[in-house]
Amino acid sequence: MQQLKQFWVAEALEKDLGDPGNPNSMMSFKQVMDLDEKEEFPDEIIDWLYNWKLQHYYIPTECGGEFTGFDEFISFVRVLSRRDQTAGIAFTTMFWSYLVWMAGTEEQKQNLASFMKDNNGTMCLAYSEKAHGSDLLGGDMKATKVEGGYLMTGEKWPINRATRSGVSFVLAQTDPAGGPRSLSLFMVEKSKIDPAKYSNLPKILTHGIRGSDMSGIKFDHCFIPDAMRLGAEGTGLELALKGFQITRALCAAFSQGAADTALRTTLKFALGRKLYGKTVFDMPQPRRTLTDAFLDILICDCCTYGVGRGFSTVPEQISAWSAVVKYFVTTTLETVVNNVSVVLGSRFYMREAHDWGIFQKVLRDNAIISMFDGSSIVNLHALLLQLRQLTKSRARNAGKNLEALSTRLSTTFDLTQTLPAFDGKKLELVNRGGDDVLQGLELAIASLEKLKSDSNLNPDTLYQIITFTEIMREELNSLDVEITESTFQFGHEQEPEFFDMARKYCVLHAAAACVYTWIYNRNHLGEFFANGEWLALSLRRLMLNLKPAKALPGRIDDSGVTQEMIRLYNEDRMFSIVPFQLAKSQLEETSTDASPKLQLQT
Amino acid sequence: MNSVDTIQSWLVNQIATQLKIGPETIKVTEPLTRYGLDSIDSVTIVGDMEDWLDAELPSTLLWDYPTIAKAAQYLVDEVGVSPEETATPQPAAASQAKAEAPAGKGWGGLWNKISGS
């Protein structure tokens, strides 16, 4: 078994779900494709997951559940999502329970925990409205105060699981005067309100995640008792924005599951398919495409686990980190799926060919991840509003409290360290105290310099890692100047140049997250991880976003990375910096040449 | 000017500059949202106030005290800030930095220069 405890749940779940390539397994590709073709909700899968008691891992231990940390959570959501994003997303709407764990009364927490554990209950998030989209304050849903509660009137749409959920988290206007304190959040328990006063809207037909219960909900002077209000009246927007910091960061796990399957099924094809007397994989161009996809997954891994653990170590910084990850990881992995589709050739577009056509489903399903819970643009906007303060904090904190910074970074990135318990009350609407990830670049460079005496490291690889990290520092310095020189404005008509600055910031944050992940885990994630070739290659990939290739050190030999990818494929391990064990594929399924006899041309 | 006036005039200038409207059009007793300052903008503006006043403030300050007059009064009465009159409004902090930015130099030195530390 994996020595890192936070991966045990994911491994156990994998084992019990079985090989997705075996049609008889739960959540097999065959099963999820059949459901998708019929646009049917995955009831059987969801029931199975409840019986497995996976919902307990959404409930913090102090509320009677098993949740201990977001890195564990991210890992098992990847497991669901690599098989079926439709079911994965449907089951994981439960992560909005965080609104209650953060702001609920003891009674509300107990209520919800028991609803999830004992009644296989689920919930949905009813924020958006047809006419207002992301403009939460512009909504028309009203909750008018009456004796003992509120009368709720209005419509929320589109909502994932609106019809099937027993609890809807509804954002409604409690102060007709408007403004940021005009909204309150309600945990509406359908079983306790008058069924004549609310209705579910028809299923919405969608491009991907076709079996989803995508609909809406409508209230008509529906009495909602005071006990269903979360937090004080007027705190709805604040709570909603803090809740998004959690759900947005965790959305990355959906994309990582999808990217794993996209790469795995394409590799299977490339290794087995012969053309011009060779396998597709033997040809340099497809091999490079697949290796780069693997590198992108590793890069995103470092960011996702970083923010997952950062929730516990630096909650006051997460407003920036979660926007970075929601933007960067989901869009990068969308690109990964697109890039590898070329290797699969026309099969990527076929609905039955190759692994039951799972690739085209991944492509369709995954396209929504960068859009929901705040689109890419919404996330970049959330970040760009904080850029000036981030820049100022970086200057203000430069060279100060280095010991504390170093301790925070090592607790965040060293996967063997025990995390403090997450406290949602410590989340802040805007970043407090800067961004440790970029603040620590000088420390990172100093740590890297010290590794020059490590005889186990290839000096060329280390040289590249140091050089790219220095380039990051230069790029960050010039970005800071760019931010400072820009004439910032409020409002929603931000210049496109600001979005570009926010994008650059995301790339730099991601690159730095990779460097720390390596520095702090070199001794316990195996030889491939430790030798750092993957890091040098990843940093080069990232810096290509900021500089032309000729301005960067040349690409080092990537055959070691390619070999590792094949090893993980052959051993059925997650494509990840922590390649935990997946369900073993059955022999008859791997009738292609994807066996150890495969020789890499090194 | 007393402290309340100083804070009010700082906020008027800051908001006028960043929303590109004339400071004379801003009434300190009107809710800030009337001028197109949205909910998240009014959270980020608190960061600038913290820098100016050198004090940690609740980030929802302008949500809970939604007019310039109310916010200034709260800061003086409850938080006890007393900005110096010489601390004139500097909404154009960005352009000031621009003027001093040494070409091709890193950021660390730049800020030391501005802040004099």
Distance from CA of A300 to the nearest CA of B (A): 28
Using the Cβ of A132 and the Cβ atoms of chain B, whether some distance falls under 8 Å is answered with no
Q: What is the pLDDT of residues A220-247, one digit of tens each?
A: 999 999 999 999 999 999 999 999 999 9
**Backbone angles phi and psi of A275, in degrees to 5:** -145, 140
> Residue A158, preceding bond cis, omega within 30 degrees?
yes
Which of B19, B94, B110 has its CB closest to that of A490? B19
Residue A338, H or E segment:
helix A318-344
Non-local (6+) Cβ contacts of B99 within 8 A are none
Interface test mutation site (partner B, options A386, A425, A429, max chain B beta carbons within 10 A) = A429
- Over chain A, what is the mean pLDDT? 94
Rounded to 5°, angle at Cα A326 from A325 and A328 = 60
Q: What is the mean pLDDT of residues A473-482?
A: 97
Residue A444 confidence (pLDDT) above 60: yes
Non-local (6+) Cβ contacts of A407 within 8 A are none
Distance between CA atoms of residues A27 and A20, nearest Å = 6
C-alpha neighbours within 13 Å on the C-beta side of residue B56: 5
Q: What is the pLDDT of residues B57-97, one digit of tens each?
A: 999 999 999 999 999 999 999 888 888 754 444 444 444 43
- Cβ contact, residue pair A474, B42, below 8 Å: no
- Cβ contact, residue pair B40, A485, below 8 Å: no
Using the Cβ of A386 and the Cβ atoms of chain B, whether some distance falls under 8 Å is answered with yes
Using the Cβ of A134 and the Cβ atoms of chain B, whether some distance falls under 8 Å is answered with no
pLDDT value for A589: 45
Distance between CA atoms of residues A474 and A422, nearest Å = 34
Q: What is the pLDDT of residues A80-130, one digit of tens each?
A: 999 999 999 999 999 999 999 999 999 999 999 999 999 999 999 999 999
Distance from CA of B44 to the nearest CA of A (A): 7
- Cβ contact, residue pair A484, B98, below 8 Å: yes
Residue B13, H or E segment:
helix B3-19
pLDDT value for A167: 97
Q: What is the mean pLDDT of residues A337-343?
A: 97
Distance from CA of A185 to the nearest CA of B (A): 16
- Cβ contact, residue pair B18, A488, below 8 Å: yes
Q: What is the pLDDT of residues B9-38, one digit of tens each?
A: 999 999 888 888 899 999 999 988 888 788
Using the Cβ of A484 and the Cβ atoms of chain B, whether some distance falls under 8 Å is answered with yes
Using the Cβ of A382 and the Cβ atoms of chain B, whether some distance falls under 8 Å is answered with yes
Work out the pLDDT band at A587, boundaries 50, 70, 90. low
Asked whether A487 and B95 are in contact (CB, 8 A), the reply is: yes
- Percentage of residues of chain A with pLDDT beyond 90: 92
pLDDT value for A487: 81
Q: What is the mean pLDDT of residues A456-461?
A: 96
Work out the pLDDT band at A596, boundaries 50, 70, 90. very low
Q: What is the pLDDT of residues B102-113, one digit of tens each?
A: 333 333 333 333
Give, as one character, the DSSP assignment of residue A422. P
Q: What is the pLDDT of residues A26-43, one digit of tens each?
A: 999 999 999 999 999 999
Chain B residues near any Cβ of chain A (below 8 Å): 18-20, 31, 33, 36-48, 51, 59-60, 63-64, 66, 94-95, 97-98, 101, 106-108, 110-112, 115
- Cβ contact, residue pair A484, B107, below 8 Å: yes
Q: What is the mean pLDDT of residues A134-142?
A: 91
Using the Cβ of A446 and the Cβ atoms of chain B, whether some distance falls under 8 Å is answered with no
pLDDT value for B85: 57
Work out how many CB contacts closer than 8 A connect A with B. Answer: 103
